[in-house]
Structures are given as structure tokens and as C-alpha cells.
Amino acid sequence: MHITSRIARNISLLSLTAAVLIHSVSAAAPAIPDVTAKSAILIEAATGKVLYNKDAETRRPPASTTKMMTLIVALEHGNLDDMVTASEKAAYTEGSTLWLREGEQLKMIDMLYGIMLISGNDATVAVAEHIAGSVEKFSKLMTEKAHLIGANNTNFINSSGLPDPNHYSTAHDLAKIAAYGYRNPLFSKIVGTSQVNIPWPEREQDRELYNENKLVWLYEGGNGVKTGYTDAAGRCLVSGAKRNGIQLIAVVLDSERMWDDSIALLDYGFDQVKSQFFWHEGDILKNIRVSNGKQDYVNVAVKADVIAPVIIKGGQTEYETVVDIPMHIAAPVAVGQKVGTVKVMYQDKEIASADLVSAENVEKKSFFATLWSSIRQLFALLLRSIA
């Protein structure tokens, strides 16, 4: 039997580290960015907390930022080692290109790098046809996935982001899609890659792909995510940056200065969010009873640091910690043995967790010690019943 305890905590400025306290009290509040984008948003990825919002719920053409969902669906439905063949339709897809020729084959993983780093529209068609049989069927998978993760104002008609009146999203939805993607380590690796070489069959040299997202190259902690442009959408950028365990996501749609807008949003965000240690590795959280052990209790320790983003704007943010451990465990118990978990929750959403482990060895009682203990307990029960 397990017992789960929920401990509500108001994480105020008083409970933050001294550095955060000094910063929040003495530093002047940063100026709210004045961005040129028609729609923009900034979120902290783990909590989904919105730190900046400008017309972020208006439906707009997302251009090639669409390809974030193309990548997510491909990672969840495809096989990275599959050989993907470019059809005639793929090879002659308009717009930005990986220069695939009809009949050319590349591994799925190489196609995905081509999609995310240089926005190969032809590669999105090849991947869509390989996984779902057609772009239309693949696009339905994309839309269904978007709605499952809460991006309900989004509809995809194709896998590339080429213009269509019924192909749309919002700044907020695109931020949600990026945040979901970052939960997948391979998504994070691909969108955060600055340069990679992939094969170019029948040519002497490989394809050298350089990420078109300049923030991966130039911004401290820049780790994604996707550029986009069409005449209808204007200049669009979903950008990500991670510092001290804090993942921020900024979205600008139809922006006159998308790089400047994005940098201003990310800078603003890192002034609003700080990392907070909830527990350090090795902290003793509590103890639990041991049955048939040479000692009655064992200390339970946190296996790894538990760090979560704390939004300091507004003075306080409420979190909950959830400790899930059994009421007792049976000996023998080995040091480092997993006995439970601890989680940090924000609005019922898990944002950080760690295993709870035994901090010490507990040997099992010998047969005679166990027998003697049982006799003593029985004798005690008899005495109480007589009394």
C-alpha cells in the first residue's frame, strides 16, 4: 500500500534563495518589450506560464513553424532508421528545399534534420507520404496531435506550412506545441543543432546543413526552434532558450524585426523566472517503517537535485509537492534502492521530479530473531487482553 501526501506550498520571496530575494527586491522591474510582431507570446515551458502576451489567440498562418508538428508526429509515428523515398510530388514541392530528386532515398532521421534546419518542404512531403500514405492523412495526424496537447485553435492542411486558408494556428498554440516537443530529447536535439552533414547520394560531398535559426548560433542558451516566412504569414519565429534549467519559448508572428523581437522577449523572460532548489541530492525527506529488519525504520533520501522554475513576477507562486512512498517496506533494504518518488506540481502539472531511495542498508532479521519478536508481540497482546 502506498500513501501519497500533498503538501501545498506558497513559494514567496521569503522562501527563495538569497540571490533571488535580493534580485527581486532591489532590481527595478524590467521594461515590458515593445515588439513589432502582430502576435507574440512568451512562456515558461515547464509550467506553461504566460509571461508576455500580445494578441496571442488570433489565428494566423504559421508558415514553416508548422514543421514543429511535422517533427513531433514523425518522431512518434515513424522509424528513424527507415529509408524514405522521395516521390515525384515531394521532389517538385515548391518553396524551401532539401534538393531531393525523385526516387532519392534518405534515412528518416536525415530527412528530419533537413526539415528543421533548412526547412525542406520536399522532405516534409516525403516523410508524410512514408508515414501516413499521403500529406492529407499526415496532416490529420498533425491536427489531432495539436488538439490533444491543447492547441485547439490550430488546423493543419499540409506538412510544410505552405499557404492555405484552412491552415492556421496562434502564437499561444505554437508555444504549446514547442513546449510539448521539448519533452522529447530527440526533438530537443534536432531543433537545437546548429550544423550537421547528411548524405547526398550520387554526389561526392554530403549535404552541409546550417540551422537557419540564428538564435541557436548567437543567443546564450539558444536551443531551437523554427523560422517561417510566406507573403501571407510574414516573418515568423518560434525561439527557445535554456539557462540554469529554465526553458523559455518565444513566438513572434508577422514580425518586422523577428530576431530583435525574440531576443527582447527572451531577455525579459529570464528576468522573470529563476531556478529554485526544492531539494538537493541526498536530502533526507522522511523515514519509513521496515518489516523484519534489524532496525525498525530507514531514512529516505532524494536521489537527484529537484529544481523547478519559479516565476518571481508578482511576488509569489503557488506550488505543491507530492511524495509517493509505501507505508512500509520489507527487509533486506539496499542503500540506493528506490522506494518512491517526489514531484513538484504547478496547477496539477508535474514540472520536476526525482526518485526517493534508501539512504542506508537494512539487513533482514535472522529466523530466530524474527521468531522471538513474534513471540514477544503475541505475549504483549495476551497481557493487554487479560488486563
Query: Is there a single domain that holds both residue 64 and residue 103?
Result: yes
Please state, in angstroms and rounded to a whole number, the distance separating the CA atoms of residues 52 and 95. 32
Give the cell for residue 104.
532519392
Phi, psi angles (nearest 5°) of residue 30 = -65, 150
Helices (H), 242-327: 258-272
pLDDT at 353: 93
Query: Is there a single domain that holds both residue 119 and residue 249?
Result: yes
pLDDT at 371: 58
pLDDT, tens digit only, all 387 positions of the chain: 444 444 433 333 223 333 333 343 334 567 899 999 999 999 999 999 999 999 999 999 999 999 999 999 999 999 999 999 999 999 999 999 999 999 999 999 999 999 999 999 999 999 999 999 999 999 999 999 999 999 999 999 999 999 999 999 999 999 999 999 999 999 999 999 999 999 998 888 999 999 999 999 999 999 999 999 999 999 999 999 999 999 999 999 999 999 999 999 999 999 999 988 899 999 998 889 988 888 889 999 999 999 888 877 654 557 888 999 998 899 898 999 999 999 999 888 898 999 999 999 988 876 555 555 666 666 666 777 776
Q: Find out whether 313 and 275 touch, Cβ atoms under 8 Å.
A: no
Describe the chain by its helix, strand, coil percentages, rounded to 5: 35, 35, 35
Please state, in angstroms and rounded to a whole number, the distance separating the CA atoms of residues 161 and 61. 8
Give the cell for residue 363.
539487513
pLDDT at 286: 87
Query: Is there a single domain that holds both residue 307 and residue 247?
Result: no
Query: Is there a single domain that holds both residue 81 and residue 9?
Result: no
Catalytic residues: 64, 67, 119
Choosing from 275, 294, 316, the residue where a domain stops is 275
Query: Is there a single domain that holds both residue 311 and residue 208?
Result: no
Asked, for residue 7, whether it belongs to a domain, the answer is yes
Choosing from 235, 251, 275, the residue where a domain stops is 275
How far from 210 is each of 82, 216, 218, 276, CA to CA, in Å? 23, 10, 13, 35
State the CATH number of the domain containing residue 40.
3.40.710.10
Query: Is there a single domain that holds both residue 243 and residue 302?
Result: no
Nearest to 281 by CA among 357, 335, 343: 357
Asked, for residue 334, whether it belongs to a domain, the answer is yes
Asked, for residue 66, whether it belongs to a domain, the answer is yes
Residue 176 is assigned to a ligand binding site: no
Q: CB-side exposure of 352: number of CA atoms within 13 Å?
A: 22
Q: Which amino acid is at 286?
A: K
Domain of 9? 2-15+280-367
pLDDT at 169: 98
State the CATH number of the domain containing residue 310.
2.60.410.10
Query: Is there a single domain that holds both residue 305 and residue 242?
Result: no
How far from 315 is each of 21, 69, 273, CA to CA, in Å? 10, 35, 11
Please state the domain count of the chain.
2
Query: Is there a single domain that holds both residue 151 and residue 222?
Result: yes
Query: Is there a single domain that holds both residue 124 and residue 185?
Result: yes
Please state, in angstroms and rounded to a whole number, the distance separating the CA atoms of residues 140 and 70. 11
Query: Is there a single domain that holds both residue 224 and residue 251?
Result: yes
Query: Is there a single domain that holds both residue 253 and residue 333?
Result: no
